[in-house]
C-alpha cells in the first residue's frame, strides 16, 4: 500500500506532466518587424 507521501508525489507528477503535455501543439506567434517596402 502506497504511503500518503507517495500518493502525493504521484499526483504532483501527473499534474506537472499534464501541464507539460498541454503545450504540445500550442501555437506560438512571432511578429517579424522589419522593412518590406523600403
Partner 1 sequence: MAPVGSNQLKTLQYLAEETNKSNPAGVKFEIIGLDNKLSPAESLNQLKSALDQGVRYITQGNGSSVAGALLDAVNKHNERNPGKEIIFLNYAAVDPDFTNSKCSYWHFRFDADTSMKMEAMTTYIKDMKEVKKIYLLNQNYSHGQQVVKYAKENLGRKRPDIEIVGEDLHPLAQVRDFAPYIAKIKASGADTVITGNWGSDLALLVKAANEGGYNGRFFTYYTGVTGTPTALGQGGAGRVYQIGYAHYNMGGRMSQHMAGFKAKYNDDLYTGAFMGVFDLLTQAMAKAGSTDPVKVAAAMHGHKFKGYNGDMEMRKLDHQMQQTLYMTVWQKVDKKFPYSAENTGMTLAPVKTFEPYVSSTPTSCQMKMPS
Q: CB 11 → partner 1: shortest distance, Å? A: 17
The 9-38 contact track toward partner 1, x by CB under 8 A, reads -------x--xx--xxxxxxxxxxxxxxxx
Per the listing, cell 506537472 goes with 16
Q: Is 1 in the site for partner 1 (CB under 8 A)?
A: no
Residue 25 cell numbers, joined: 501543439
Asked if residues 10 and 17 have their Cβ atoms less than 8 Å apart, the reply is no
CB nearer to partner 1: give 1 or 30.
30
Q: What is the DSSP letter of 25?
A: T
Binding site for partner 1 (CB under 8 A): 16, 19-20, 23-38
Amino acid at each position: 500500500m502506497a504511503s500518503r507521501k507517495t500518493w502525493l508525489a504521484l499526483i504532483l507528477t501527473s499534474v506537472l506532466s499534464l501541464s507539460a503535455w498541454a503545450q504540445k501543439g500550442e501555437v506560438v506567434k512571432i511578429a517579424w518587424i522589419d522593412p518590406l517596402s523600403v
